[in-house]
Amino acid sequence: MSDMTPTGSAGHNPTRHSSSASFDAVDIIRTKRDHGTLSPEQISWTIDAYTRGVIAEEQMAALNMAILLNGMNREEISNWTSAMIASGERMDFSALGMATSDKHSTGGVGDKITLPLAPLVAVFGVAVPQLSGRGLGHTGGTLDKLESIPGWRAELSSTEMMRQLADVGAVICAAGASLAPADKKLYALRDVTGTVESIPLIASSIMSKKIAEGTGSLVLDVKVGSGAFMKDEASARELARTMVALGQDAGVNTVALLTNMETPLGLTAGNAIEVQESVEVLAGGGPDDVVELTIRLAEEMLAAAGVHGADPAAALRDGRAMDVWRRMIAAQGGDPDARLPEAKESEVIYAPADGVLVGLDALAVGIAAWRLGAGRARKEDLVQAGAGVRMHAKPGALVRAGEPLMTLLTDTPERFARAKEALAAAVVIAPEGSRPSQRLILDRIA
């Protein structure tokens, strides 16, 4: 035992945990620092004590860094996840009498798939309880996108959520404060201490919320590439395997797809412009990659929920998914027919040369959209509904010098310069006949 208390002030006894185990935060940090293994009791004490403010922020920061550098084994990750679930409430949709399924994306640029996907899956009688978040940094948040619809409300009570699931079959809303509160505190700390990029911490963070949310089955869309957390396929595969194992261990039927995030999904990165593109998909159109991924994820969600032989593509073509979308938006106060906000100012970026567009970097586009006002740098910032980047060509397209490649959108034109800086090296044009690698779905992990 160290001579310091868990709060870091010298000379007192270690704080007692309500479950009667007694630990010292510094011992726990040293164990991880020295490549040791934390016991279930140590982990449950750590998460509980941190949530209650007994472990100091600097101690948790040190422990996170030790975990980032030295990892955790499967049992530790599972115990860490269970402790985070136990820090809050666990939702239960069994009273619905319907199968439930959810999708989680690890975050990408132009990733609006949840919007068409949730109503599409609900068409087939599987309820979709989607608890989503707001964006921070270069990846957009689903709630920010939906909040560009006039009147739409993200905050629902549990009763409202349950009623909407029973009536409409799909709900996308904000996660309440009682869902895995340990993760909220921990994530904010990781964000400012360079400890986000740890597979055990990412996996436990995501899965604690998804398991607490109470879904019966879960499909994970693990993004790989410049615009994703995981830049290479091997790390993405490890993250996917870790999360699938956590889900299965908790009795949630979980599968994962690894999908390409070298280039943005679809032709839009922003808020209102992504809603508009999602509505195009629900109307049977939209960009091929968004349609392909929406259909594939719907098939996976339906199969995971025990529904086989459904044809999601038909439900996009014949308007059934659109009907559910309209009801889902209206149920949360939104007007599905309202005109979406538009940015006041625009600036076009032109192709610098003739050839084949072989690269359009997702991270650069995400940063540009963020700098234009579509995303926030701090939690309390407001986003601009109309801001973002509209792309006119995707990798594989033949382009001519001087042709529009992208339109930048914002209400505040002083932002254009910094957005253009982000895009300076985003576009790669190769001689005619070149072919970019265009695989969208890289692997499936079950």
Residues that bind ligand URA (CB under 6 A): 187, 196, 201-202, 205-206
Q: Which of 32, 134, 184, 190 is catalytic?
A: 190
C-alpha to C-alpha distance for 188 and 61, rounded to whole angstroms:
11
Q: Which of 134, 209, 371, 394 is catalytic?
A: 209
State the minimum distance, in angstroms, from the CB of residue 337 to ligand URA.
33
Q: Which of 82, 101, 205, 278 is catalytic?
A: 205
Task: For ligand URA, give the closer residue by CB, 109 or 391.
Answer: 109
Task: For ligand URA, give the closer residue by CB, 229 or 416.
Answer: 229
Task: For ligand URA, give the closer residue by CB, 149 or 207.
Answer: 207
Task: For ligand URA, give the closer residue by CB, 122 or 202.
Answer: 202
State the minimum distance, in angstroms, from the CB of residue 396 to ligand URA.
30
State the minimum distance, in angstroms, from the CB of residue 109 to ligand URA.
15
How wide is the angle at C-alpha 214 spanned by C-alphas 211 and 219, nearest 5°? 65
SS (H, E, C) 257-307: EEEECCCCCCCEEECHHHHHHHHHHHCCCCCHHHHHHHHHHHHHHHHHCCC
Largest alpha-carbon pair distance within the chain? 73
Which residues 6+ apart lie within 8 Å of 136 measured at CB? 191, 375, 376, 379
Task: For ligand URA, give the closer residue by CB, 187 or 325.
Answer: 187
Q: Is 190 a catalytic residue?
A: yes
State the minimum distance, in angstroms, from the CB of residue 133 to ligand URA.
7
Provide the 3-class DSSP secondary structure of residue 390.
strand
- Residue 430, phi then psi, degrees to nearest 5: -115, 165
Residue 30 class from Cβ within 10 Å (0-12 exposed, 13-18 middle, 19+ buried)?
middle
Specify the residue for token string 């106060």.
333
Q: Is 221 a catalytic residue?
A: no
Q: Which of 183, 221, 289, 361 is catalytic?
A: 183
Q: Is 209 a catalytic residue?
A: yes
Q: Is 392 a catalytic residue?
A: no
> Pairing state of beta strands 404-410 and 388-391?
antiparallel
Q: Is 420 a catalytic residue?
A: no
Nearest-CB residue for ligand URA: 205
Tokens of 308: 């086989």
354 with 432: CB under 8 angstroms?
Answer: yes
State the minimum distance, in angstroms, from the CB of residue 312 to ligand URA.
26
State the minimum distance, in angstroms, from the CB of residue 134 to ligand URA.
12
Task: For ligand URA, give the closer residue by CB, 120 or 186.
Answer: 186
DSSP 199-259: HHHHHHHHHHHHHHTT-SEEEEEEEESTTSSB-SHHHHHHHHHHHHHHHHHTT-EEEEEEE
Catalytic positions are: 104, 183, 190, 205, 209
